[in-house]
Structure 1
Amino acid sequence: DEEFARQTLSGINPYALQLVTEWPLKSKLDPAIYGPPESAITKEMVEQQIRGFCSLEEALEQKKLFVLDYHDLFLPYVKKVRQLPGTTLYGSRTLFFLNPDETLRPLAIELTRPPMDGKPQWKEAYTPSWHSSGVWLWRLAKAHVLAHDSGYHQLISHWLRTHCCTEPYIIATNRQLSEMHPIYRLLHPHFRYTMEINALARAYLINADGIIETSFSPGKYSMEICSVAYDLLWRFDHEALPADLISRYLESAFPDIFEIFTAINLLTNFFITRGMAVEDPDAPHGLRLTIKDYPFASDGLVLWDILKEWVSDYVNHYYPEASLVESDEELQAWWTEIRTVGHGDKKDEPWWPVLKTPQDLIQILTTITWVTSGHHASVNFGQYTYAGYFPSRPTIARKNMPTEEATERDWEFFMNKPEVLLLLCFPSQIQATTVMAILDVLSNHSPDEEYLGEKSENRNGAGIVPYEFLKPFSEPGVTGKGVPYSISI
């Protein structure tokens, strides 16, 4: 449990955890389609786990409750995914408590199946247990959540938010800016090899019946979920690290073509506040972290400020007067293409930054360079380190929980051989070895890699695994560290 919680903060998907600000936890999906919205995680369940520390109300007030919430994103796909062979899916929530020593502790996991096949909604909450059966149920529940987190990491935090959304920047830069343009020269190192690696990904990773579809829980719906997440979650201004830590906004733009889109459209104008930081002019980087020991955020903000300082000096040199930005026709055409063509589905969104002053340009360029460097490095180069050992981060869950309408025979099998059921839930041997091999490749630094820097401090203590994903430099190979300029693998 300690390592499960530590990796939620310091592992390869640090973008999903959010602060709990309201209780009870509730779904925003249509209850007529997906069943009662209230969470199965109750106040009594939470207070039993945090007894001796504080009450639920005090935990909320003191910002000590956090959640991995994959409930509303995955629940509309449960019925579809369960029709595929060799996989299953739930909507899930995992609740964490912030201990006095600033470490997280998992309190409860909720798994939900919507009404389907003539059966009502099913959901159950699991908690850490000392009872032997409860221990195995908790392990199985964690396996499901880890499969959800692996899918979210690979499809959204990694592919969507770095590889995929960077392509419009690259295309617009090459179409609208001459090679002599100062902004072209600034961005060029940050786009090295990205189109090539994306082409390979489309051929072998995210293609139909490719590695993602055959080894991750959503199966053939993986790219559809990725597209829905783009619609609901992505906005350019929140790709900046400080804004990402503070909040996220959901706004659906899909027409009511499919049932899934119709259901998710009910989330229009719904805010998710990540709450991992608040603005504080007296704090380092102008942000005060909600969790002090949040290595990704701490190191990331240092890197963000360095990038912003470099971009500021560069932009101010070439654009000493504000009017020069607005009168630069190439630059304006570049930004217009990114907004209205590259990200055309979102061209009318009100959150797009305007480009009129050097400060506008600095924020835009810092965001782009952060995505291609720090963001990508934080979710990519530790993949083999953490997910190469598949029980640590299974990519797929193949068996339902034994408590979900189990027959007497199913329950007897679980009671007699719980370890076998866990192994059957994990990826198959071919799935595990395939993913291990590809993660080894993806985590590898080539000998000709170009890095942001050469050295940085290593923050760790006795018995604490060091966080090195945002160390600027690395040797070639699989090192679990290093921040290249670009998305080159």
Structure 2
Amino acid sequence: MLAGVNPVIIQRLQEFPPASRLDPEVYGNQTSSIKRKHIEKNLDGLTVDETYASRTLLFLQDNGTLRPLAIELSLPHPQGDKHGATSLVFTPADEGVEGAVWQLAKAYAAVNDSGYHQLISHWLNTHATIEPFVIATNRHLSVLHPIFKLLQLHFRDTMYINALARQILINAGGILELTVFPGKYAMEMSSIVYKNWVFTEQGLPADLLKRSVQTAIEAWVDDYCSFYYSTDDMIRDDTELQSWWMEVRNEGHGDLKDEPWWPQMQTRAELVEACTIIIWVASALHAAVNFGHRRFMPESGTPEYAELESNPDVAYLKTITAQFQTLLGVSLIEILSRHASDEIYLGQRENPEWTSDNRIVERNNDSRWKNCNGPVKVP
């Protein structure tokens, strides 16, 4: 459960202790407080260089399961951000007050994991960032264009769902702000994370490589695009395709239009890469992050800690979200995670006509129609 509802953000630990990307001039020293002594006893004789981590450290065991090693919970420094963070480190325990504290720490980690999952992994990375592609596709690619046919099904209901989300879920004072994060921070968090969004890192296998946890979609897209674009010149000369990509980059993702990682859309390989990422994000990745899913930590010597020793269940229920908010949040996730009754899966289509163009080559090669093919002079 420590991996939570959001395993798509698990990363291999590249350095120990875990460092932060926050500007130290603004936020002080945010390096993790987790020490070797906290985790070495649970590493089966291995070193810290062989663990998986965020600020929750998980150990990949030989049997393929993840063992929790430590959880670090941080608060802003009472004298200001520039002084760094105030952090507490918790390690696994099964009995007594230490076991109760560990249960609370896991609850806090799960709440943070769920919040990041809903706002970033789900809303930002698979709904918000795909919307500009949907708009540009409908504005610039005709319904007969092969790339429109390729992508259109993967954009099914996206705009409708996003519109509803802005009305009741992610709006100021909306359901998400009542159940996940305080309203002051929810949308601010999404906006800040988007500044580091990189289109070319969203697809497989780039996403797995980036997280150091090493497609059929790419092979399928390559075959499809190769049928319509036999040369790179055909990509450059397709005015619909070029205007589509220009709007995606310059208007749809205008905040990031000058980033060097954007495909230039001058070659078939770049078209295949872009379409593969779009399909992956809008279909398989979205399915992975969509389907199925206070008080401060008590300190020794306080009444809260004494209650944790005497009656851990009561203390736990006092700490986690209130009953109404919990029911609201669970209901929201349940509704958002349901499969549609008319769902269509990768490789399926509502009707086979989208691939009817493939029969043109067969007919052109049929000797019975030798007088019915070739260049036609249409005024």
Give the TM interval when normalised to the shorter protein: 0.7 to 0.9
Alignment pair present for 1:105 and 2:67: yes
Alignment pair present for 1:450 and 2:338: no
Contact 1:108 1:128 in 2 (8 A): yes
- For 1:29 and 1:441, how far apart are their aligned partners in 2? 35
- For 1:342 and 1:33, how far apart are their aligned partners in 2? 31
**Counterpart amino acid of 1:312?**
D
Q: Which residue of 1 aligns with 2:18?
A: 25
- For 1:308 and 1:30, how far apart are their aligned partners in 2? 37
- Select 2:39's aligned residue among 39, 46, 50: 46
Shift of 1:414: 2.8
Shift of 1:408: 3.1
Q: Which residue of 1 aligns with 2:272?
A: 362
- Select 1:95's aligned residue among 52, 57, 67: 57
Residues 66-465 of structure 1: matches in 2 within 5 Å? 66-68=52-54, 93-116=55-78, 121-232=85-196, 234-247=197-210, 274-277=211-214, 305-383=215-293, 398-403=294-299, 408-453=302-347
Contact 1:33 1:115 in 2 (8 A): no
Write out per-residue CA displacement over residues 131-153 of structure 1, whole angstroms, 9 at most, x where no aligned residue.
41111111111111101100110
In structure 2, the CA distance between the partners of 1:118 and 1:148, relative to structure 1 (3 Å rule), is closer
In structure 2, the CA distance between the partners of 1:453 and 1:334, relative to structure 1 (3 Å rule), is closer
- Which range is displaced more, 215-224 or 143-152? 215-224
- For 2:8 and 2:134, how far apart are their aligned partners in 1? 24
**Counterpart amino acid of 2:144?**
M
**Counterpart amino acid of 2:35?**
T
Contact 1:34 1:115 in 2 (8 A): no
Write out per-residue CA displacement over residues 397-452 of structure 1, whole angstroms, 9 at most, x where no aligned residue.
x211012xx76333323332322221122221111211222222222223222222
Alignment pair present for 1:55 and 2:22: no
The alignment partner of 2:73 has SS state of: strand
- For 2:206 and 2:180, how far apart are their aligned partners in 1? 30
Q: Which residue of 2 aligns with 1:254?
A: none
Q: TM-score, normalised by structure 2?
A: 0.86
Structure 2, unpaired ranges of 5+: 350-379
- For 2:303 and 2:139, how far apart are their aligned partners in 1? 64
Write out per-residue CA displacement over residues 165-194 of structure 1, whole angstroms, 9 at most, x where no aligned residue.
111001101111122211112111111111
Rg (Cα) greater in structure: 2
Shift of 1:102: 2.0
Q: Which residue of 1 aligns with 2:354?
A: none
Q: Which residue of 2 aligns with 1:268?
A: none
Write out per-residue CA displacement over residues 50-101 of structure 1, whole angstroms, 9 at most, x where no aligned residue.
2x42233xxx1xxx31112xxxxxxxxxxxxxxxxxxxxxxxx111111121
Shift of 1:45: 1.7
The alignment partner of 1:15 has SS state of: helix
Shift of 1:28: 3.6
Contact 1:107 1:128 in 2 (8 A): yes
In structure 2, the CA distance between the partners of 1:145 and 1:436, relative to structure 1 (3 Å rule), is same
Contact 1:113 1:122 in 2 (8 A): yes
Contact 1:326 1:356 in 2 (8 A): yes
**Superposition RMSD in Å:** 2.1
Contact 2:126 2:281 in 1 (8 A): yes
**Counterpart amino acid of 1:419?**
D
- For 1:16 and 1:118, how far apart are their aligned partners in 2? 29
Shift of 1:26: 2.6
Contact 1:109 1:142 in 2 (8 A): yes
In structure 2, the CA distance between the partners of 1:32 and 1:373, relative to structure 1 (3 Å rule), is closer
Structure 1, unpaired ranges of 5+: 69-92, 248-273, 278-304, 384-397, 455-471, 473-489
In structure 2, the CA distance between the partners of 1:167 and 1:110, relative to structure 1 (3 Å rule), is same
Contact 1:176 1:334 in 2 (8 A): yes
In structure 2, the CA distance between the partners of 1:437 and 1:222, relative to structure 1 (3 Å rule), is same
The total of aligned residue pairs comes to 347
